[in-house]
Structure 1
Amino acid sequence: MRPGERGIFATAVTVICVATVVAASGTAFTSPGPTPASPAPISSAISPQNMDPGAVRKKLDQLYHDAAVATDAYNAAQEAYKRQSARIDALSKEIVQAQQKLAGLKNAAGAAARAQYRTGGLPPTAQFLFSDDPQQFLDGAGAMLQGQRATSKLIVEMTRTQEDLKQYAEDASAQRNKLEDDRRTKAAARKKIQQQIDEAKKLESRLEKREQDRLAQLEQEAARRAQTAWLGTGILKEIDGKASAQGKLAVQFATAQLGKPYVWGAEGPDSFDCSGLTSQAWAAAGHPIPRTSQEQWKELRHVDIKDMRPGDLIIYFHDASHVAMYAGDGQIIQAPRPGRTVTVSGAGAMPILGVVRPDA
């Protein structure tokens, strides 16, 4: 075999080998990991012999606070679930496109290999080797060089596409695992929320009508004392910010929801949880914000209380487990807790962690 023939023959064999390896490859998704253990059940600290309304109120506050924390975890997992689902859909499309591209490249590789084995095992571009015409020899040499370059480029493209396909498959597998983690987190949070709410309802159901009225009175008195103490600092004399155009729209949306029930995990249109109300209000104002109160606290710009203006969000409790919208004049609009409706309350009725501004 002549040197020129060996080069072309080796190139053809390389193309066939690459096509064979590509055809034999495939993608696989790993199975999700084990499901984490369910949270341990909780128990009430209030015994039948100790139904003092003050103690009951403290216990209920704790139960509903824990339910709010679990609701934030549920909402965060739900948002992550949506993002992972969208990412998997995008990766699925990329995988299909890569598979189609790979199929086209394999067809091209096969066609090139078949062309090189026509006419007695020699490609048409190599038949110049048997010619006595110098010009034909030179023309054939150029054509052979171009063919080799094209074949080399085809091999590189096939290899790159195969690597892309493998990476897409690995990414999709990782996203599926994350999706299952989010699903389990949601399920655990949902279970904890329901446990907290069920125990709170059970505790309230053990109260007689007189005790229930006294409990409601204690809650109102506690909120009134906290608001009075907050106003007593003279803070309203310092707060004189005017709502932005988007802030006004957000407050208008929140105001229109007054009277609608609190439902954990809800973001309208018929019911809301605390961050569902604030996030939807700002979405309606044309400025989407994070879904949960904890994310709102972490990601939005912090402002001093004295600088807050209507539309700003007040974050409550040390763990940022509750959020409300400042409406002006020391008032907030909030979705308080299960069993309550969207309402207007005093901004200082709960421990304030800080203030954030969505449209900073």
Structure 2
Amino acid sequence: MYRRHCAAAAITLVCALAVLAAPVPALAAPAPPSPTAPPEPEPKKSLEEVRQEIDGLYRAAGAATDAYNLAEEKAKKQSSEIVKLAQAIVEGQARIAELKSRAGAQAREEYRNAGLPPGARLMLSGDPQLFLDGVSRARQGQQAAKGLLGELNRTQEDLETYTQDASTNWTKLEANRVKQAKAKKKINAQIAAAKKLESHLEKKEKARLLALEQEEAYKSQTAWLGSGALKEINREASPSGKKAVAFATAQIGKPYVWGAEGPKSYDCSGLTSQAWAAAGRPIPRTSQEQWRLLPHIAIQDMRPGDLIIYHSDATHVGMYIGDGAIVHAPRPGRNVTLAGAGSMEILGVVRPDK
């Protein structure tokens, strides 16, 4: 019995030692997280795509410039109206003060005469001739008093109208100032975005970009001339048209600055409006208003001095100078220069001196 007990104990001990001596399988360490794949780089834009994007930004800036210029013109007009109305109000107040003074003098005179005007006292006299004179004077006095009161009422009504008009113009003035501020913000943002795009280009790329612009303009001009849209390129300008062309071409080389009307810089419609003002024919300030308000003519009838309006939204304008060319202020970063009349999308032609 004792031996069986010892054998069992020995077997148990051997099994335990065998278990402890058995190799322990190693636990696998947690796998590190797989690294996030880097984002795919955006494909680099071609120089032509960059050119189109820059052109679009400057086009948007041109549209905002037109909105700014129109708001500025309206603000100037409203400011002028407010000044005129203020002068009319001052004059009206002075006139009312004068009329009230005259009415007060009449009232004091009647009071001194016991409430009877001189004509009435003569009417009460026993002299027939004096009585007749009194009747006439009384009528004159009544008419004068009636006229005085009528003028006083009319002047007061005018004064109220002037005040209401001044208030209305002030409201419009403030609204146009808000429009100016919004347009200015948009212009600066568009120009800054375009300049940023250009700033990332290498020197060689900038040169190539300019070449692409010129190539695109040349292709458009060639296609336009080849279409036969312009039947005669050397028509005679009118006397005022010659003056306008002379002024515009004399500005060649001066920089484009949005909102500028000279003499050191211009935007597109600032150049054309000042050229025609120099020719003695003032025209609207903006290209859109020039398109809307000036007489339209057919392209084939175009002559030097006429204005060519560009793009579907009428946001650019140049002056035709003959030989199929225009003088214009292109965009920020460029100077007043000559270009092909068909180098951009033509909306139509207007003639300031028709």
Give the TM-score range, shorter chain.
Answer: 0.7 to 0.9
CA displacement at 1:209 relative to structure 2: 2.5
Q: What one-letter code is carried by the residue in structure 1 that aligns with 2:185?
A: K
Question: Closer, same or farther in 2 for the Cα pair 1:117/1:293, shift >3 Å?
Answer: same
* Structure 1 residue 293: Cα displacement: 0.6
Give the match for residue 306 of structure 2.
312
In the alignment, structure 1 residue 84 sits paired with structure 2 residue 78: yes
Question: Which of 59, 68, 91 is residue 53 of structure 2 equivalent to?
Answer: 59
Q: Please tell me whether residue 242 in structure 1 is matched to residue 245 in structure 2.
A: no
Asked whether 1:221 is paired with 2:212, we answer no
- In 2, the alpha carbon distance for the partners of 1:48 and 1:106 equals 81
> For residues 312 and 131 of structure 1, what CA distance do their matches in structure 2 show?
83
Answer whether contact 2:119 2:133 (CA < 8 A) is retained: no
Give the SS at the match of 1:117.
Answer: helix
Opposite residue 179 of structure 2, the aligned amino acid is: T
In structure 1, what is the equivalent of residue 17 of structure 2? none
Residue identity matched to 1:246: S
User: Which segments of 5 or more consecutive residues in structure 1 lack a partner in the other structure?
Assistant: 1-46
Deviation for aligned residue 1:48: 6.5
Partner residue in 1 for 2:161: 167
Per the alignment, in what secondary structure is the counterpart of residue 187 of structure 1? helix
Structure 1 residues 101 and 48: CA distance shift in structure 2, 3 A: farther
Partner of 1:142: 136
Distance 1:330 1:188, change over 3 A: same
Aligned partner (choices 262, 265, 269) of residue 271 of structure 1: 265
Q: Is the deviation greater in 129-138 or in 162-171? A: 129-138
1:125 aligned residue: 119
SS at match of 1:326: strand
Task: Provide Cα deviations, 1:130-149, integer angstroms capped at 9, x if missing partner.
Answer: 53434333332332222122
Whole-angstrom distance in 2 between the partners of 1:137 and 1:100: 39
Contact 2:230-2:299 at 8 Å conserved across structures? no
1:287 is matched with which residue?
281
- The separation in 2 between residues aligned to 1:156 and 1:130, in whole angstroms, is 29
Cα offset, 1:167, TM superposition: 0.5
How far apart are 1:236 and its partner, in Å? 4.8
Aligned pairs for 1:1-360 within 5 A = 49-128=43-122, 130-360=124-354
Q: Gaps spanning 5+ residues in structure 2: where? A: 1-40
**1:138 aligned partner, one-letter code:** L
Instruction: Report the secondary structure of 2:113's partner residue.
Output: helix
Structure 1 residues 48 and 204 mapped into 2: Cα distance closer, same or farther (>3 Å)? farther
Query: Does the CA contact (< 8 Å) of 1:64 and 1:197 recur in 2?
Result: yes
Query: CA-to-partner distance for each residue in 1:57-81, whole Å, 9 max, x for gaps?
Result: 1111111011101111111111111
Displacement after TM superposition at 1:237 (Å): 4.5
Distance 1:338 1:48 in 2: 29
User: Cα gap change, 1:135/1:247 in structure 2, threshold over 3 Å: closer, same or farther?
Assistant: closer
Match of 1:38 in 2: none
**Residues 129 and 356 of structure 1: CA distance in aligned 2, closer, same or farther (over 3 Å):** closer
TM-score scaled by structure 2? 0.84
User: Does the CA contact (< 8 Å) of 1:118 and 1:124 recur in 2?
Assistant: no
How many residues were matched structurally? 314
Decide whether the 8 Å contact of 1:236 with 1:329 is kept in 2.
no
> Which residue identity is paired with 1:325?
M
- Structure 1 residue matching 2:161: 3-state secondary structure: helix
Using the TM superposition, give the Cα deviation of residue 129 of structure 1 relative to its aligned residue in structure 2, in angstroms. 5.8
Q: Please list the CA deviations of residues 12-34 of structure 1 after superposition, one character each: whole Å capped at 9, or x if unmatched.
A: xxxxxxxxxxxxxxxxxxxxxxx
- 1:319, 1:271 → 2: CA distance? 24
Give, in angstroms, the shift of residue 238 of structure 1.
3.6
Q: Give yes or no for contact 2:221–2:342 (8 Å, CA) kept in 1.
A: yes
Aligned residue identity for 1:261: P
Q: Closer, same or farther in 2 for the Cα pair 1:101/1:223, shift >3 Å?
A: same
Q: Which has the larger radius of gyration?
A: 2
TM normalised by structure 1 equals 0.83
1:216 maps to amino acid = L
Alpha-carbon separation, structure 2, partners of 1:312 and 1:162? 50
State the one-letter code of the partner of 1:208: E
Q: Cα RMSD over matched residues?
A: 1.7
How big is the shift at 1:112? 0.7
Task: Report the CA distance between 1:240 and its aligned residue.
Answer: 4.0
Contact 2:117 2:138 in 1 (8 A): no
CA distance in structure 2 between the aligned counterparts of 1:68 and 1:228, rounded to whole angstroms: 25
